[in-house]
């Protein structure tokens, strides 16, 4: 009996120690909403909350990774310096600000094609690998050993036989369903393979929920791809078919993509810590473009910071396209402020649901946005996984970043910034196509949705900083 009492007392005391410890540590370097969510979880479920916090909740980047990032910064700045000769002659404030956020400059002389057909992206990439002469570098969140992955691996294997150096880096969490098969598939083809931000239960080098979410492909240092598409079949989820948007480009901006891939490879490649050299391609067109990398190795939340600033400066129209919309206060404030000034704001999300809790959380924001005059469109039939934005025909953004806490503060992301009317108008044409294929929400009907749904949304919203 005494032993039982002692154990119960010890357990009770330990729970309160966890709660008081959480009050002292959780709010540090964390937004009020995120801190509130963690504290609620820990106060109601101390043991479970502590385990989750230790695994995915600590906001610090390991010291070793911080040191490595500082070492690689010299390499990135050298590439940026060599790109200076191709820098935009007529740079906008956005371009200068984006360089401060992501280190890479805006450069002239690029050709860019926006591809919204999933299968067409796969075929173009296969053709480019087939024509490669020197090197192929693929950095991607998901690389599956399904029909798409096998076709790409086979083409990479053929390139290796021709003497082309082929490297693939994929995220082990994003690719967890296929991880073992993918490693075997690529290594059997002679492809150099690396996992981004590997997860280890013991002696972890970084937080388990910090992921490399970038999708960047470079062939011979001359052709680059950036966007939202992974290397997996478009219907890899049962009953769900993805629609994406990818920019295929040539010209000096490809060096920015190559620099990011090389830095990420060197961050994880302990056997080769020096980044692979990056050459600056000659101009191949007339378009200005700029890569904005973001993530824990950068001092600010680059994509979010730029987006909030642009929304506050918007004058006519802004379109945001994202599959996962879980904004923080700054995004909500910027959108509502712009709408109050008479700016037309279109938010395009998918009506097809692949992550139920995330969907409920994003729905909890809709009433506030609709009341502010923001138009919300639910894309029908396919999962609109594309991530892009346009502001006033002055700035276009195509990349991998969602409008959510995870993409803003945890994931490694990459966004291609577009500054010329011709390519931005093409992006707006694609976005308007999304809207035509969507159902628009009305405030009155949205307010009349079932009470149980509203309750579920509110509960999910409390959890949103943890998603």
Sequence-distant (6+) residues with CB within 8 A of 289 are: 106, 107, 110, 112, 249, 251, 253, 416, 417, 418, 419
Q: CA 370 to CA 373: how far, in whole Å?
A: 5
| 78-114 residue pLDDT tens | 999 999 876 776 678 999 999 999 999 999 999 999 9
Closest CA to 173 of 201, 209, 148: 209
Closest CA to 411 of 208, 182, 179, 137: 208
Q: CA 36 to CA 5: how far, in whole Å?
A: 33
- Predicted confidence at residue 268, as pLDDT, reads 85
Query: Domain ranges in the chain?
Result: 2-57, 63-96+103-293, 302-466
Q: Is the fold of 63-96+103-293 the same as that of 302-466?
A: yes
Q: Are 213 and 123 in contact (CB under 8 A)?
A: no
* Architecture of the CATH domain 63-96+103-293: 2-Layer Sandwich (3.30)
SS3 label, residue 89: coil
Stated pTM of the model: 0.90
Q: CA 424 to CA 390: how far, in whole Å?
A: 7
Class of domain 302-466: alpha beta
Positions of the chain with pLDDT under 70: 1-5, 26-34, 55-62, 86, 89-90, 200-208, 270-273, 464-467
Q: Are 278 and 382 in contact (CB under 8 A)?
A: no
| 161-196 residue pLDDT tens | 999 999 999 999 999 999 999 999 999 999 999 999
């Amino acid at each position: 009996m005494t032993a039982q009492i002692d154990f119960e007392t010890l357990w009770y005391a330990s729970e309160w120690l966890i709660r008081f410890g959480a009050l002292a540590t959780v709010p540090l370097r964390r937004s009020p909403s995120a801190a509130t969510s963690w504290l609620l979880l820990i106060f109601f479920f101390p043991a479970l909350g502590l385990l989750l916090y230790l695994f995915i909740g600590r906001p610090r980047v390991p010291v070793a990774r911080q040191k490595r990032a500082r070492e690689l910064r010299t390499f990135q700045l050298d590439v940026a310096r060599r790109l200076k000769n191709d820098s935009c002659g007529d740079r906008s404030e956005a371009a200068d600000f984006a360089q401060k956020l992501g280190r890479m400059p805006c450069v002239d002389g690029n050709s860019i094609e926006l591809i919204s057909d999933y299968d067409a992206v796969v075929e173009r990439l296969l053709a480019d690998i087939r024509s490669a002469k020197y090197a192929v570098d693929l950095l991607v969140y998901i690389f599956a050993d399904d029909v798409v992955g096998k076709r790409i691996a086979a083409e990479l294997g053929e390139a290796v036989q021709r003497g082309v150096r082929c490297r693939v880096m994929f995220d082990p969490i994003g690719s967890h369903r296929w991880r073992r098969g993918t490693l075997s598939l690529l290594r059997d083809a002679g492809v150099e393979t690396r996992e981004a931000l590997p997860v280890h239960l013991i002696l972890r080098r970084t937080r388990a929920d910090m992921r490399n979410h970038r999708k960047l492909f470079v062939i011979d240092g001359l052709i680059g791809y950036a966007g939202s598409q992974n290397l997996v079949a478009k219907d890899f989820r049962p009953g769900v078919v993805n629609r994406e948007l990818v920019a295929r480009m040539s010209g000096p901006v490809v060096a920015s993509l190559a620099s990011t891939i090389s830095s990420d490879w060197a961050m994880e490649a302990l056997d080769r810590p020096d980044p692979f050299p990056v050459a600056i391609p000659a101009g191949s067109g007339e378009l200005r473009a700029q890569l904005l990398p973001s993530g824990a190795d950068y001092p600010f939340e680059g994509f979010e910071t730029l987006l909030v600033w642009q929304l506050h400066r918007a004058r006519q129209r802004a379109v945001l396209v994202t599959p996962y919309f879980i904004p923080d206060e700054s995004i909500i404030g910027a959108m509502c402020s712009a709408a109050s000034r008479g700016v037309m704001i279109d938010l395009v999300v998918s009506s097809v649901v692949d992550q139920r809790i995330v969907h409920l959380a994003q729905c909890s924001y809709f009433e506030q946005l609709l009341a502010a005059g923001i138009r919300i469109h639910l894309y029908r039939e396919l999962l609109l996984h594309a991530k892009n934005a346009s502001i006033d025909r002055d700035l276009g953004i195509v990349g991998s970043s969602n409008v959510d806490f995870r993409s803003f503060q945890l994931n490694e992301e990459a966004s291609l910034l577009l500054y010329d009317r011709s390519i931005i108008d093409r992006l707006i044409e694609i976005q308007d196509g999304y809207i035509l294929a969507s159902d628009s929400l009305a405030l009155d009907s949205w307010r009349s949705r079932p009470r149980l749904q509203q309750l579920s949304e509110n509960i999910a919203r409390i959890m949103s900083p943890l998603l």
